[in-house]
Amino acid sequence: MSILIACGPTKLTISRANLKPNGLAANPVLATDSTTIQDWEEKVRPQLQEDLERQVFGFLPDASSTQILDKTTITENAYGGQASIEEYTLTATAEFNGTSATTRPFKLVVVIPNDTTTPVPVIMLQSFCPNHNTVQHPGVSKPVGNGFSCDGDGFMSKVMNYVFGRYIATPPTEMILEHGYALAAMYPSEFVADRSERGLADLLALSKGHEDGETRWGAIAAWGWGFSRAIDVLEQDERFNKDGFVTYGHSRYGKSALVAAAFDTRVGAVISHQSGTGGASLNKYKKGESVGEITKTFPHWFSQTYANYAGREQDMTTDQHALLALIAPRPIFLGNARRDVWSDPNGAFRAAQGANTAYNIYNKQGLTQAKLNNYNPAADIAFWIRPGTHGVVKEDWPAFLEFMDAHYKEIK
Ligand code: GCU
């Protein structure tokens, strides 16, 4: 028991999130109901982006490009003949201050329904498991000498599924295809490792022209940028709906999925599950994981400036509701669990409330719920909370797809 109590995430898992907004509201974003769309897009958005880059994520590249080194069709007969699996080998180039650098090669695996008489939305997924775990086909490449393995049905894999849910490593691809969507999988550690030392080295190598060490980009920003590099490739393919590039991620990749949408308007919608600190949850007056805890455990995820705000978050002139506001008017799904207090569902809810001003500028409502548990999949900001803890469990994907259907069925 003392071990349990000593462990922050576990201790917080024993508590439950309050279902009513509980705590101070998010500070207003730099806009009012009378701000015009033009002012919002030309003046307010760039300022909000810069504040978040400076104080939280570090700066994204000034310019970027993506190179296709190879493309292969692994099979045209996957999932009972319903879909094809294609694999790209890519590199991406980031430019800071006139100096550019290119990533190691990385893969993008696409599962696409064979029946695409009309262009289909594509759920773009990042995971801490390599692509061959996400898309289970023997033809999918395994990462070379790199990283975490979620392989097999051994003991560790069973423990992982038991603790973090049946869909933690592998999404229900048949279910996604049945709803008429494609899936595109990336393993972001291939281009920026999710390890403190190696990750920082990768980030440094890719941001050579960025002189300010305090605001150099962190891995969350770089992974978010990785989603955009996938769109560079997929938008050239007529089989995909141009409004249907949906970023999806759980936890750390729930954070990168939000960053991608906030900085790239080609992202059509976001499914961000349990993104927590540095994602949808406010930094000020927060419960769960503190800025100090996240930046100490994961020094490569954010800018050093964010770490410097630990214990003095009140001094920040921005907060995470600005990240959500930047996504307006596009739909956002925020997934949460009642006992996942480490991810602070209440702070995410108050952030969503704070982002409404931006949706209102576009004559949209944003969040329609008054409480955390009145899920409305058709809302611009759909807030979902289920019982249980941190993970991707049986009820989660049906909820994600309900949100997708509510926003994409009529235009498919
Ligand atoms: C840790 C971390 C969280 C993160 C999570 C995950 O728990 O503290 O911020 O979201 O890992 O990615 O699973």
276 Cβ inside 6 Å of ligand 1: yes
Question: How far is 170 from 239, CA to CA, in rounded Å?
Answer: 24
Cα(280)–Cα(283) distance, rounded to whole angstroms? 9
What is the position in ligand 1's atom list of the atom closest to the CA of 293? 8
- The amino acid at residue 38 is Q
Confidence (pTM):
0.96
Q: Is the CB of 251 under 6 A from ligand 1?
A: yes
| Cβ 113 vs Cβ 174: under 8 Å | no
* Beta pairing, strands 269-273 & 182-186: unpaired
**Structure confidence at residue 154 (pLDDT):** 67
End-to-end CA distance of the chain: 52
How do strand 240-250 and strand 269-273 relate by DSSP bridges?
Answer: parallel
Residue in 196, 248, 252 to alter for ligand 1 test, most ligand atoms within 8 A of Cβ: 252
Give me the residues paired with residue 107 across strands. 89
Dihedrals phi, psi of 271, to nearest 5 degrees: -115, 105
* Structure token pair of residue 78: 């996957």
Number of independent structural domains in the chain: 1
- Ligand 1: centre distance to CA 217 (Å): 18
| Contact between residue 216 and residue 203 where contact means Cβ atoms under 8 Å apart | yes
> Nearest 10 degrees: CA dihedral of 332, 41, 222, 322?
-60
pLDDT for position 83: 98
Residue nearest to atom 7 of ligand 1 (CA): 9
Three-state DSSP class for 262?
A: helix
Can you give the pLDDT at residue 2? Answer: 37
Angstrom CA distances, 290 to 30, 192, 278, 287, stand at: 25, 24, 10, 7
Compute the distance between CA of residue 289 and CA of residue 194 in angstroms, rounded to an integer: 19
Atom of ligand 1 lying closest to residue 9 CA: 7
Say yes or no: CB of residue 188 within 6 Å of ligand 1.
Answer: no
Q: How far apart are alpha carbons 397 and 50 in whole angstroms? A: 33
**Residue 60 lies in domain:** 2-408
Phi and psi, residue 246, nearest 5°:
-110, 120
Residue nearest to atom 2 of ligand 1 (CA): 294
Residue 252 CA to ligand 1 centre (angstroms): 6
Query: Which of 189, 289, 290, 293 to probe ligand 1 with, by most ligand atoms within 8 A of CB?
Result: 289
Q: How many CB atoms lie within 10 A of CB 155?
A: 8
Instruction: Give the pLDDT score at 410.
Output: 67
Q: Where are the beta strands (DSSP E) in 192-276?
A: 240-250, 269-273
Q: In whole angstroms, how far apart are CA 35 and each of 30, 46, 263, 265, 391?
A: 9, 14, 20, 19, 39
> 365-384 b/e with 16+ CB inside 10 Å = b?
ebbebeebeebbbebbbbbb
Q: Does ligand 1 come within 6 angstroms of the Cβ of 9?
A: yes
Give the domain CATH number at 337: 3.40.50.1820
Instruction: Decide whether any atom of ligand 1 lies within 6 Å of the 289 Cβ.
Output: yes
Instruction: Answer yes or no: are the C-beta atoms of 257 and 123 closer than 8 Å.
Output: no
Report the SS3 class of residue 172.
coil
CB distance 161 to 168 below 8 Å: yes
Instruction: Please choose from 150, 251, 306, 340 the residue to mutate so as to test ligand 1's pocket, defined by most ligand atoms within 8 A of CB.
Output: 251
Q: What is the largest CA-CA distance in the chain?
A: 59
CA-to-CA dists, residue 161 to 170, 202, 295, 342, angstroms: 10, 30, 27, 19
Question: Phi and psi for 72 in degrees, rounded to 5?
Answer: -130, 150
Going 33 to 224 to 320 to 339, the CA torsion angle's sign is: positive
Q: Which helix (H) or strand (E) holds 205?
A: helix 196-206
Q: Give the number of the atom of ligand 1 that is nearest the alpha carbon of residue 252.
A: 12
In testing the pocket of ligand 1, which one of 196, 342, 344 has its CB within 8 Å of the most ligand atoms?
A: 342
Chunked mean pLDDT (size 10), the chain, 412 residues: 51 83 88 89 97 98 98 97 97 98 98 93 96 96 75 74 90 97 97 96 97 97 99 98 98 99 98 98 94 98 98 97 98 98 97 96 96 97 97 97 94 46
Strands 99-102 and 63-78, bridge-based pairing: unpaired
What does each C-alpha distance from 62 to 98, 160, 232 come to in angstroms? Answer: 8, 39, 16
**Residue matched to tokens 């969503």:** 352
Q: Does ligand 1 lie within 6 Å of residue 346's CB atom?
A: no
Q: Ligand 1 mean position to 286 CA, how many Å?
A: 15
**What's the CA-to-centroid distance between 120 and ligand 1, angstroms?**
31
Tally Cβ neighbours within 10 Å of residue 297: 11
CA of residue 240 to ligand 1 center, whole Å = 31
